[in-house]
Structure 1
């Protein structure tokens, strides 16, 4: 008989020591949900195990009585702490002052009754220090009521965890499942003792298992590290209004942002959409039909634009149950679009009309001066004509870029070899001083956007126009594989400055007259839209620009 008793004492002491290990991760993550409760659970489990150890040793009545008081105190820490742990984890309880005031009040009352039991005999069973009759005759000792209360707290926590396992996914579900599994061993062993099924109270063994489980949850399931956020909390925190509507057009739920938009504080559930959004009749019609798109409403004296995103919720057999509508606010985006549209119109009108007309006048007058003047004055007139030509070219390319942005192209089959050949013929006439050469296959069909011609045209033009070599040359090479088609344009010019290449790689704009220019801006836009890629290799001996077009 001594060996089982000794084994019980060892296991109880082991439970008392190991339970305190839970304090380490709880302190390290004390600002995370669940840590506050564990800082009560750990000492509670340790004290409970220590109390069981004292019960197993031959002690006088007063010592047994003291041990029982320790167990009572630890029970409060365990029950209350576990509920706080689970409540924080499942986002159902916020451990604020009111929660701790309630727990502290309960702890004070219970401990007062336990410590003064020799005077009234209302708390413990009659076996402890019975020196007089109880003050009152109760159906159950208050200690049993206290134990049932603690069971209630722990079972309530188990209910929260079980519900969380059913409703959540991935890491959150794993964490909740592990926490639920952790509390089962000590709870089950304690119930077995309470019912008299076991000869000894092996709850401390359950605490050992609980400690190992919590350790596994911390180390393997990121408990106390990966902060749980429920869908409900995420929905409540969203700045965008969200409304759930059933098939009868009644509001099932609405987050605070939606209630603020409709100026409804409470009593909104089960009301019709028309009543909920009474100030916005156009919006009501859209919500009833579940039509997506943008809509403008006036709220709080200002216009707000929303993009409606509708998600259908179906039940068994794909039968419709409800729809969730998210009001994605795009007010600033719409305002920016209107500003950019106005800017585009002004810019287009100025570049296409005013500036071009004035440049045509400047060019025509200087062409006349070039005929009439000689020497230095004629050179100045010729320089002015060249500057006007460059500005006219920039204006034309800007218009091309604008049209490209506004267009909606679809990929089509293009003979890239024939396209390059046609471009070279055109540029040979424009730049007769440049030696153009090529290495092209007889044909090279590829599916891409028609605007790829613009990209090639601009690259060839840049290679020729900015080539300051004594004998300027431009070579175009087209190669193809099963996966892609590559077009390389190589010149023997001065090369592109590293600073300009760095600016292009960062994607930051430069001046239209300098840097990468409007032409290369058009090239980048075409490349991005077509799914191709563009790379540059440049040094003082020249530049090679390579476009790689993937085969579909």
Structure 2
């Protein structure tokens, strides 16, 4: 009797302790389980003192009420705690509560029927008001459902032990084992074996059940860190991911690392988790997300870009997140190398080439030797080509660094400026402009458009063997006028070498496939920046078409 009453008190005390975790995955269900198991504990402990048959029958009725509800409620806890909360909201789970609801109604109305038991009578044992009766089919169904649901809950907890290793092992083992003592005692009572078949020891064995639950929950991370975080991570990322992956809970504690992350941070399988994120990585989540990267020292370290994906449970509540680190060490080095090369191209090469060209022109003007004049002339021409490349790169880099702008550009004025510039450097060139648009304006970035057209016209002018090169620039709407504006640059030169076009189309240059300059590359980069298209054809001359999309 005292053991049963103590089990009831312990159950309610544990409910009070766990109230701080109300709302966490599984906590509310487990609190409900503890509260309902206090009902048969108090009812049976107090009923052992009630020798009036009517009152004793009502005490027994509450024992059955608690017995019928414990199993489904414990299953609800196990489902939500192990990350299967969607099952709790399914129709099949709701059907499980037909049994406890029906048992509650039958237990409270027992004086009017014998659907729950029959032949109820006092059969005192050791001067206590124990009873004997024949359990009816509904009673066996109710017991079977509660034992089955509790058993499934235990299996789910065992699966957690096997799947997640030492992180939740101690708590999950304690909770799983806590169901064994009252279950065994209940089966012994149902079988009617032992010296006192009228004595139901199941309420008494709720006491070790409560003790094991208290061991599992008091002073541990049972609800602070639970398998929901891990299971949510498994649904969004694979442990086979070759990039380092860390799973953190809502308190920024690492609860899981994949193999690559363990190698990167030197974490062994035997190392205890959870561990604070900042302790392992040297920075917190906010720091990672603000900078977008992390620098990891060590032989496997480097610079890593940070990707963070929040994790939610089936109720759409946050349970943590997944951090994936992408190694960008080589990319960072290439970026630094490109910055150095760009500086050399824009400044050093340009300045030195200006000096070389100036001296060569001076020698050419005063040489008096035809052979020497020809040689210095070749130096001047080569220098001019290199300076042209440097100037183009500088101009494109300047345009790229500024903020993109979209305005209404007068096509005619833009082309007239290009033609005037070409006439100054190439007076023998014939540049024709044909505009087949009622409104010769296009909304785009004017500097990018000018860079595209000037480079195409210049390429057509300088890459020719004719003394009087001819270039025609035609502007028209696309066949589907809503798509944008087409700029067609035609010349009468030899076909642009396939190696040039193939390099542009491939988006890369290799030792066996490279062009002779950066003009077409600048065109390609500018067209890409405007989300346009670039095509090459040959029709008694090269036809390069650029389509600028409607803005």
After TM superposition, the score normalised by the length of structure 1 is 0.51
Deviation at 1:430, TM superposition (A): 2.4
Superposed CA offset, 1:248-288 (max 9, x none): 2322322222233333323533333344x1xx43x2x3467
Q: Which residue does the alignment assign to 2:73?
A: none
Deviation at 1:308, TM superposition (A): 1.3
Q: 3-state SS of the aligned residue for 2:482?
A: coil
Contact 2:399/2:447 (8 A) holds in 1:
no
Q: Which residue does the alignment assign to 1:463?
A: 460
Aligned residues: 319
Q: Which residue does the alignment assign to 1:202?
A: none
Task: Describe how 1:206-355 pairs up with structure 2 within 5 A.
Answer: 231=234, 235-265=238-268, 266-275=270-279, 277=280, 280-281=281-282, 283=283, 285-286=284-285, 291=290, 293-300=292-299, 303-315=301-313, 318-355=316-353
Q: 3-state SS of the aligned residue for 1:517?
A: coil
Instruction: Evaluate the alpha carbon distance shift between residue 246 and residue 443 of structure 1 in structure 2; reply closer, same or farther with a 3 A threshold.
Output: same
Q: 3-state SS of the aligned residue for 2:330?
A: helix
Instruction: Evaluate the alpha carbon distance shift between residue 306 and residue 456 of structure 1 in structure 2; reply closer, same or farther with a 3 A threshold.
Output: same
Q: Distance in 2 between matches of 1:449 and 1:272?
A: 52
Contact 1:240/1:327 (8 A) holds in 2:
yes
Deviation at 1:486, TM superposition (A): 0.6
Superposed CA offset, 1:374-399 (max 9, x none): 65554544444333322322332233
Contact 2:430/2:469 (8 A) holds in 1:
yes
Instruction: Evaluate the alpha carbon distance shift between residue 288 and residue 250 of structure 1 in structure 2; reply closer, same or farther with a 3 A threshold.
Output: farther
Q: Which residue does the alignment assign to 2:488?
A: 488
Deviation at 1:432, TM superposition (A): 1.8
Deviation at 1:414, TM superposition (A): 2.5
Deviation at 1:463, TM superposition (A): 1.2
Instruction: Evaluate the alpha carbon distance shift between residue 235 and residue 458 of structure 1 in structure 2; reply closer, same or farther with a 3 A threshold.
Output: same
Instruction: Evaluate the alpha carbon distance shift between residue 456 and residue 258 of structure 1 in structure 2; reply closer, same or farther with a 3 A threshold.
Output: same
Long gaps (5+) in structure 1: 1-154, 164-229
Instruction: Evaluate the alpha carbon distance shift between residue 510 and residue 490 of structure 1 in structure 2; reply closer, same or farther with a 3 A threshold.
Output: farther
Q: Which residue does the alignment assign to 1:389?
A: 384
Contact 2:504/2:521 (8 A) holds in 1:
no
Contact 2:444/2:530 (8 A) holds in 1:
no
Q: Distance in 1 between matches of 2:494 and 2:446?
A: 31
Q: Distance in 2 between matches of 1:378 and 1:274?
A: 70
Q: Distance in 1 between matches of 2:314 and 2:386?
A: 67
Q: 3-state SS of the aligned residue for 1:236?
A: coil
Superposed CA offset, 1:131-179 (max 9, x none): xxxxxxxxxxxxxxxxxxxxxxxx99xx99xx9xxxxxxxxxxxxxxxx
Q: Distance in 1 between matches of 2:358 and 2:510?
A: 26
Q: Which residue does the alignment assign to 1:400?
A: 395
Contact 2:423/2:429 (8 A) holds in 1:
yes
Long gaps (5+) in structure 2: 1-150, 160-232
Q: Which residue does the alignment assign to 1:222?
A: none
Q: Distance in 2 between matches of 1:393 and 1:500?
A: 18
Deviation at 1:522, TM superposition (A): 0.9
After TM superposition, the score normalised by the length of structure 2 is 0.51
Deviation at 1:311, TM superposition (A): 1.3
Contact 1:362/1:388 (8 A) holds in 2:
no
Deviation at 1:406, TM superposition (A): 4.8
Q: Which residue does the alignment assign to 1:551?
A: 550
Q: Distance in 2 between matches of 1:466 and 1:233?
A: 55
Contact 2:360/2:377 (8 A) holds in 1:
no
Q: Distance in 1 between matches of 2:311 and 2:295?
A: 26
Q: 3-state SS of the aligned residue for 2:275?
A: coil
Q: Distance in 2 between matches of 1:332 and 1:436?
A: 46
Q: Distance in 1 between matches of 2:503 and 2:261?
A: 44
Contact 1:449/1:530 (8 A) holds in 2:
no
Q: Distance in 1 between matches of 2:276 and 2:348?
A: 52
Q: Which residue does the alignment assign to 2:521?
A: 521
Task: Say if 2:409 is the partner of 1:414.
Answer: yes
Q: Which residue does the alignment assign to 1:438?
A: 433
Q: Distance in 1 between matches of 2:236 and 2:421?
A: 64
Superposed CA offset, 1:342-369 (max 9, x none): 3333444431332332233223332343
